């Protein structure tokens, strides 16, 4: 006895529940935005319209130049963080990849370490300047 009938093709009726949920979600969001805009308080004052930055009084111009070191460290962090993510597929499939995969990862780590040594020798992480 077969209790379940499997459909092999995708039809528009298969996506009907997703469409209904999407319509309800958009309707709920639109309704809430209209209600809060209609019934919410409207007190406009000079103090309320002033910029707010974490509770700290604004001092000076926000467009003043910053040290490039901050941006360099941030970019290096993102670069090395993304490189470490590439270890995950190897860790999951290390048996299927065999020795070829192992040598590829060793080469990847070698390039990773050589790039890190280059950054250290160039002084990119020195803050004493």
Give the CA distances from residue 98 to residues 65, 86, 105, 107, 111, in Å, rounded to whole numbers and listed in that order: 51, 17, 11, 15, 20
Instruction: Read off the pLDDT of residues 24-34 as tens digits, 9 standing for 90 and up.
Output: 999 999 999 99
Please report whether residue 1 resides in a domain: no
Please tell me which of 22-31, 35-44, 116-125 the model is most confident about, judged by mean pLDDT.
Answer: 22-31
Report the domain count for the chain: 1
**What's the mean pLDDT in 5-21?**
78
Instruction: Read off the pLDDT of residues 59-115 as tens digits, 9 standing for 90 and up.
Output: 777 777 777 777 888 888 888 788 888 888 888 888 888 889 889 989 988 988 898
The domain that contains 75 carries what CATH number? Answer: 1.20.58.1610
**pLDDT at res. 3:** 57
Please report whether residue 7 resides in a domain: no
In this predicted structure, the answer to whether residue 129 has a pLDDT above a threshold of 70 is: no
Per the structure, the complete domain to which residue 74 belongs is given by 12-122
In this predicted structure, the answer to whether residue 4 has a pLDDT above a threshold of 70 is: no
Q: What band does 6 get if pLDDT is binned at 50, 70 and 90?
A: low
Please report whether residue 53 resides in a domain: yes
Buried b (16+ CB within 10 A) or exposed e, 52-73: eeeeeeeeeeeeeeeeeeeeee
Write the DSSP assignment of 70-129 as a string of letters: HHHHHHHHHHHHHHHHTHHHHHHHHHHHHHHHHHHHHHHHHHHHHHHHHHHHHTTT----
């Amino acid at each position: 006895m077969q209790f379940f009938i499997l459909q092999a093709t995708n039809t528009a009726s298969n996506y009907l529940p997703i469409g209904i949920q999407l319509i309800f979600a958009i309707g709920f969001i639109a309704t809430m935005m209209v209600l809060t805009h209609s019934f919410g308080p409207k007190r406009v004052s000079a103090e309320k319209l002033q910029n707010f930055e974490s509770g700290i009084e604004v001092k000076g111009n926000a467009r003043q130049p910053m040290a490039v070191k901050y941006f360099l460290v941030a970019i290096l962090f993102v670069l090395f963080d993304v490189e470490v993510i590439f270890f995950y597929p190897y860790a999951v499939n290390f048996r299927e990849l065999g020795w070829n995969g192992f040598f590829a990862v060793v080469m990847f780590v070698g390039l990773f370490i050589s790039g890190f040594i280059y950054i250290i020798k160039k002084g990119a992480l020195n803050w004493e300047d």
